[in-house]
């Protein structure tokens, strides 16, 4: 029974991910999305887009990584990728969060979920590179759909968007080709709110 109790405690704890707000807004622009919605959206994207990965991926494994990748935000918060100062201690905050949150589970499941999270963060396997690509594609699509909402709010330049998202190509060169063209086109049509180089 102790095993089930620990599993139920973890399940209740991860409900808190629904309260972690991201900088991106949902595509109708009405509100910020939360990290749980983000994770669900990524899982759907991976299911649909896996055929475009640079090499064959284990979709089930990718889905597992995407479902656990942001759980650490319960403690560490959502660190905006374009905030240089907030990113200085991001890794340390997220490592502490991973220790605590995954540690709520029975030992075998702690090891299993922590290994998925570590693999996602390391980006060394094809599955992890594809999962990371999906994680970067989604906020780009939302920004493009909302006229660059979070990019405008934080004076993010085209160069920053392209640099941040270029690792999409490590997971899917074909998707990066399309996404980078969309970014270029949007900024060419005046999406940017600040001077571009």
List, as one string, the DSSP characters of 96-124.
Answer: HHHHHHHTTS-HHHHHHHHHHHHHHHHT-
What pLDDT does 197 receive? Answer: 45
Fold of 2-20+30-188: Hypothetical protein af1432 (1.10.3210)
What pLDDT does 190 receive? Answer: 84
SS3 81: coil
Q: Which of 191, 175, 95, 196 is nearest to 132 (CA)?
A: 175
The per-residue pLDDT for range 135-193, each reduced to its tens digit, is: 999 999 999 999 999 999 999 999 999 999 999 999 999 999 999 999 999 999 987 55
What pLDDT does 179 receive? Answer: 98
105 touches 7 (CB < 8 A) = yes
The per-residue pLDDT for range 25-66, each reduced to its tens digit, is: 999 999 999 999 999 999 999 999 999 999 999 999 999 999
Mean pLDDT of 91-115: 98
Task: For residue 194, name the pLDDT band (cuts at 50, 70, 90).
Answer: very low
- Domain residue extents for the chain: 2-20+30-188
């Amino acid at each position: 029974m102790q095993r089930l109790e620990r599993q139920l405690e973890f399940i209740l704890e991860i409900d808190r991910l629904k309260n972690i707000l991201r900088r991106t807004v949902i595509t109708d622009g009405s509100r910020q999305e939360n990290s749980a919605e983000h994770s669900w959206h990524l899982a759907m994207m991976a299911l649909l887009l896996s055929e475009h990965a640079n090499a064959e991926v284990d979709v089930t494994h990718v889905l597992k990584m995407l479902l656990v990748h942001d759980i650490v935000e319960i403690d560490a918060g959502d660190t905006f990728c374009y905030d240089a100062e907030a990113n200085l201690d991001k890794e340390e905050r997220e490592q502490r969060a991973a220790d605590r949150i995954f540690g709520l589970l029975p030992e075998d499941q702690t090891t299993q979920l922590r290994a998925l999270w570590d693999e996602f963060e390391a980006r060394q396997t094809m599955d992890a590179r594809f999962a990371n690509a999906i994680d970067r594609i989604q906020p780009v699509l939302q920004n493009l759909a909302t006229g660059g909402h979070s990019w405008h709010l934080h004076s993010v330049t085209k160069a920053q968007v392209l640099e941040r998202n270029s690792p999409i190509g490590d997971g899917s060169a074909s998707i990066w080709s399309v996404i980078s063209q969309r970014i270029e086109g949007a900024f060419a049509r005046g999406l940017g709110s600040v001077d571009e180089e």
